[in-house]
Chains A and B, each alone.
Chain A
């Protein structure tokens, strides 16, 4: 295929390569489509748009193995782990791979800061922490059965969930409170909602496995924080099939990138983690022999000087790509959560029952969780960032007199490894131990006596007691609420280039970087003293010559 349409480039990416093979296999009709592809670029783009993506059910036809022909996958399968056992008969090392990853351990030993991170260790300002809330949280674990931290067997290979990432049917769903299992019988969720989840057809799903896709990654990552669009701001369900305006790379009618196009993998290890954010990638374009083994940075494909206009390239040493190219986040039509105030949780209505308040489609109060604020089309906040993030962990003393940072960004204007990055800043109020001055981790989920959402009936003391005990941290018995911030780097929802920020967005007196100090930026009124001094001197000069001119006029008239 030798035309110069953007669709052309899509074909050389991994996700699109099946196009040619599939055309050949599909017979005469496809042959005529292929002719179209050869002849007109515009038609080629149309054809590409009509072709199923590599991650749909037909993907198996493009591979050398048709999983529907495997005896091992004939079933029947009663549970997810049974499917995994079948997978591992051929993919003998796959479970071992997974078990080395953060997707499995939820633990991340930071190579630079030495902090113990990962979902099992960090405290956030959404549902606060995973400990004691396992079955709810682990509905997004890449395994089966993590109902309890003490009993879950991290070494058991059958506990790995292959399907959640490799399903191509779209019918495999982990049940929200199932500790990673799908439901195996019709079951209602949320409780009393009338919304009944049907058990998935595990045989059909197993026979149609394929590469990961926006849909499979999104099944968890679009729903972080307990619901669609809640957490990241730049990842929500609209990114499964984004328009070009929403994401210029991932639009199915455009380049059709999948997550793994950039988040390249090796041995099931997915690259591009927020815990080790690369704030600047000077290695530039990755090719064999010149690569850091990931395409997770923009520079991996675009290099450090991607603009035709030299003046724009002058920015890349101090401004991250996404600062201009993701002008706003939560642009897909879904609002993201910007404020979560736990301190108001636990109110009951006149009948003494928990309740929720909605504003449009968004829940703005929930007895279980407190008050929320949601925003769509959000202008990011901008910070200097060198990729280093320090977290405030459960054993770190906090200063409750101010706003407590859940994470603190490294870098500044004088650090050559720093650039100005866009962030979603999640704010809220969350419980802390008001005597020991540490962040509190409440036991929320469960039916037991201490569960905040269960029989504990919104009793913070019981919930915090149980949560802290599970993390082996002393609880003084007294709590209060403290305001916190959590910075989320914005990297997705890359807009088409003509929608990137204009110069004036920042180079203006009240521009987007108005509050970012410590460096000179033209156009926003820096060196205001020089402006005042310079124009004052110019003004004095002007007055001087005017006075001089008047004296000349007076002198001339006197002589007459």
Chain B
């Protein structure tokens, strides 16, 4: 067991930039929807669009990275140990003597619940937001694209529903980030990149290791 780079530099850059952009998109997006007034409607729409393009650009890079490194496999769902993980989060976690049943390795760093949650984020929530968001942006082109049957209301409704799903994901995700032992362990790992690699007898996948504290 070793302290190893669990999250590469790009992965961390992607994660935190994305987090910032999503917070910005939420503040401006819910203003466009009408939940609150922060910047004024016009500024909110403009900023929301700029942030949307930034995030799309970031995603293009992230997609390329996941595909070329094979890291996309981290999100393949599995139900192995799912019961144990769920039991841990609903009961075991309250007893400091009980350890987390899942031992992350460099090659499988997400527990089954994480895999499912991140997969939902990556292939359901975000794509729905992209698609409806882009439709929203290209509203005037619907007729030319053969999408004349769409209504702004329907597109907005789905977009906002997905946005609320993301808000709920966000709250859960941020909280879960503080369920390590110590509480900040996971967040620290996401910032520094270093975490416990529980793979035994294997050669670390990257050359960089440092002794456990």
Residues of A within 8 A of B (CB): 305, 310-311, 313-314, 317, 502-504, 507-509, 519-520, 522-527, 530-531, 533-535, 537-538, 541-542, 545, 548-549, 551-552, 554-556, 559
Q: Provide 16 A-B residue pairs closer than 8 Å at the C-beta atoms, listed in order of the A residue.
A: A508-B41, A519-B153, A520-B151, A520-B152, A522-B32, A522-B33, A522-B156, A523-B34, A523-B41, A527-B160, A530-B160, A538-B168, A541-B171, A545-B175, A552-B179, A555-B94
A542 touching B171 by the CB < 8 A rule? yes
Decide: B156 and A527 in contact? CB cutoff 8 A.
yes
Residues of A within 8 A of B179 (CB): 552
How far apart sit A531 and B160, CA to CA, in the bound complex (Å)? Answer: 9
Chain A residues with Cβ under 8 A from B168's Cβ? Answer: 537-538, 541
Known: A317-B140, A504-B41, A508-B41. A531 touches B34 (CB 8 A): yes
Chain B's interface: helix, strand, loop or mixed, by majority? Answer: helix
Contacts of B32 in A (CB 8 A): 507, 522-523
**Which residues of chain B come closer than 8 Å to A554, judged between CB atoms?**
94
**B139 CB-CB contact with A under 8 Å:** yes
- Shortest distance between the CB of B211 and any CB in chain A (Å): 28
Query: When A522-B34, A526-B34, A541-B171 are in contact, do A555 and B95 touch as well, CB less than 8 Å?
Result: yes
Q: Are B42's CB and A504's CB within 8 A?
A: yes
| Known A317-B140, A552-B179; contact A559-B42, beta-carbon cutoff 8 A | no
Inter-chain residue pair count (beta carbon < 8 A): 93
Q: Which of the residues A503, A504, A523, A552 comes within 8 Å of B94, measured between beta carbons?
A: A552
- Is there a chain A Cβ closer than 8 Å to B201's Cβ? no
Q: Quick check: is B59 within 8 A (CB to CB) of the other chain?
A: no
Nearest-neighbour CB distance to chain B for A209, whole angstroms, equals 48
In the bound assembly, the distance between CA atoms of A522 and B95 in angstroms comes to: 48
Q: Whole-angstrom distance from the CB of B29 to the nearest CB of chain A? A: 10
* B-chain residues with CB within 8 Å of residue A526 when the two chains form the complex: 34, 153, 156
**How many B residues touch A, CB cutoff 8 Å?**
34
Q: Contact at A556–B172, with CB atoms within 8 Å?
A: no
Question: Given the complex of chains A and B, what is the CA–CA distance between A399 and B146 in angstroms?
Answer: 45
Interface centre among A305, A509, A533, A556, by most chain B C-beta atoms within 10 angstroms, is A556
Instruction: Using A310-B140, A520-B152, A548-B175 as known contacts, say yes or no to A527 and B157 having CB atoms under 8 A apart.
Output: yes
Q: A538, B95: Cβ atoms under 8 Å?
A: no
Chain B residues in 8 Å Cβ range of A507: 32, 41
Give the CA-CA distance A533 to B41 in the complex, in Å: 22
Docked-complex contact B93 and A552, CB < 8 angstroms: yes
- With both chains docked as a complex, state the minimum distance between the C-beta of B110 and any C-beta of chain A, in angstroms: 19
CB-CB < 8 A to B206: which residues of A? none
State the CA gap A530–B33 with chains docked (Å): 10
Whether B65 is near chain A, meaning CB under 8 Å from some CB there, is no
Nearest 10 A/B pairs, CB to CB: A520-B153, A555-B94, A534-B164, A545-B175, A503-B42, A525-B34, A507-B41, A503-B41, A541-B171, A523-B41
**Within the complex, what minimum Cβ distance (angstroms) separates B3 from chain A?**
24
B161 within 8 A of A: yes
User: How far is it, in angstroms, between the C-alpha of A545 and the C-alpha of B42 when the chains are bound?
Assistant: 35
Q: Which chain B positions have C-beta within 8 A of A527?
A: 33, 153, 156-157, 160
Q: Is B1 an interface residue (CB 8 A)?
A: no
Give the complex CA separation of A523 and B153 in angstroms: 12
Q: Is the CB of B34 within 8 A of A559?
A: no
